[in-house]
Amino acid sequence: MLVLPGALFLAVAAAGRVLGHGHPFDVDRLTDRVTAWAKAPVVSTVGGQVVLIAAILLGAAAAGVVAQALGSALERVVLAAGWQSLPGPLRRPVRAWVERRQRRWEAARDRYRSAREAAARALATRRRVDPGERHGAYRAMARIAPERPDRPTWSGDRLHAVAVRLDRDLDLDLAVVWPVLWMHVAPETRAEITAGRQAVTSAAALGGWALLYLPLLCWWWPAAVIAAGVGLTSRARLRAALEGYAQTVEATARLHAAGLARELGVADDTVHGSEAGAALTRHLRGHVLQD
């Protein structure tokens, strides 16, 4: 999986180097240069061809490794789980941005509440109300963040919203419960969660390729178009993957937390919802503190 996109990157880099800024789409120039390379004495021998193919494969694999590393770094930046531990000069502008997002979200939430209350009043008087305004207000709020923003990005807040909702609705600390819950659920459920997480990683890796194409701007300006296209695709795929992954994690916790509590002996069949979540959290948090 690393070699094919890496080989494409090397081909684009070589073509861009040949064409340059002055002849960005000169196919004849590129064809002549490739033909000259093919006629070089070193390429005409079997040994030379073997060395060339090996060099291309190694270069493609190396480019793939670099893109994956950039994708991992990009994922950490986008999720921004540890932004509060940044050094002061970096943390202050991030905090200002988070606070700005919070103000925008609160304003959107107030508009949604107003629309919902207006719909409730209309329902009480048996008047028909178009739900479009209420649904539109909710979507506007969700575009900022599913819950009150805590991180500087939508992607980070989408994952954070899972923990917020489980704590609010089930009194469940996801960070404490999840490792044990993971072992409790069926292999099919774990496979679905793993597939969702891999989709997030793959989308972030695509963003790594976008970053890798940026240096080609130094000698070939159309690389900016490629980088932008790959970057926008990565953004769309990352948001979709995070949405699916977050929904899967939240659904898993809601469906299986009570069963785990009963299996651990901290709740019986009569305990559900927040009682089971609180009992499970207290039980597992106690073990964490004892360790």
Note whether 165 and 107 are same-domain residues: no
- What is the per-residue pLDDT for 291? 46
- What is the per-residue pLDDT for 274? 83
- Does the structure show a pLDDT above 60 at 131? yes
Note whether 27 and 108 are same-domain residues: no
Note whether 68 and 209 are same-domain residues: yes
Note whether 61 and 143 are same-domain residues: no
Top-ranked range on mean pLDDT: pick from 42-46, 87-91, 200-204: 200-204
- What is the per-residue pLDDT for 271? 65
Contact 56, 6 (CB under 8 A): no
Last residue of a domain, one of 150, 165, 181: 150
Q: What is the mean pLDDT of residues 242-266?
A: 93
Note whether 141 and 195 are same-domain residues: no
Contact 200, 236 (CB under 8 A): no
% of the chain with per-residue pLDDT over 70: 97
Domain that residue 167 falls in? 3-81+151-290
Which range among 52-56, 91-95, 251-255 shows the weakest confidence by mean pLDDT? 52-56
Residue 20 CB neighbour total at 10 angstroms: 13
Note whether 136 and 218 are same-domain residues: no
Separation CA 201–CA 195 (nearest Å): 10
Of the candidates 264, 100, 80, 72, the one whose C-alpha atom is nearest the C-alpha of residue 154 is 80
Note whether 8 and 118 are same-domain residues: no
Q: What is the mean pLDDT of residues 132-155?
A: 93
Residue 268 CB neighbour total at 10 angstroms: 9
Helices marked H in the chain: 3-19, 27-38, 41-44, 46-79, 88-124, 132-144, 154-170, 174-184, 187-213, 223-263, 273-290
The number of folded domains in the chain is 2
Contact 79, 156 (CB under 8 A): yes
Last residue of a domain, one of 122, 150, 178: 150
Note whether 158 and 279 are same-domain residues: yes
- Does the structure show a pLDDT above 70 at 231? yes
- Does the structure show a pLDDT above 70 at 190? yes
- Does the structure show a pLDDT above 60 at 197? yes
Stronger pLDDT, 176 or 33, i.e. the higher one? 176
Which range among 36-40, 101-105, 155-159 shows the weakest confidence by mean pLDDT? 36-40
- What is the per-residue pLDDT for 48? 81
Note whether 196 and 254 are same-domain residues: yes
- What is the per-residue pLDDT for 1? 62
- What is the per-residue pLDDT for 30? 87
- Does the structure show a pLDDT above 60 at 290? no
Q: What is the mean pLDDT of residues 184-192?
A: 95
Separation CA 80–CA 275 (nearest Å): 31
Last residue of a domain, one of 125, 150, 175: 150
Note whether 45 and 180 are same-domain residues: yes
Considering Cα of 180, then 181, then 187, then 193, what sign does the dihedral take? negative
Note whether 66 and 176 are same-domain residues: yes
- What is the per-residue pLDDT for 273? 79
- Does the structure show a pLDDT above 70 at 289? no
Per residue in 147-166, pLDDT (tens digit) is 999 999 999 999 999 999 99
Confidence of residue 172 (pLDDT cuts 50, 70, 90): very high
- What is the per-residue pLDDT for 270? 67
Separation CA 19–CA 27 (nearest Å): 9
Of the candidates 174, 166, 208, 165, the one whose C-alpha atom is nearest the C-alpha of residue 78 is 208
Note whether 143 and 156 are same-domain residues: no
pTM more than 0.75: yes
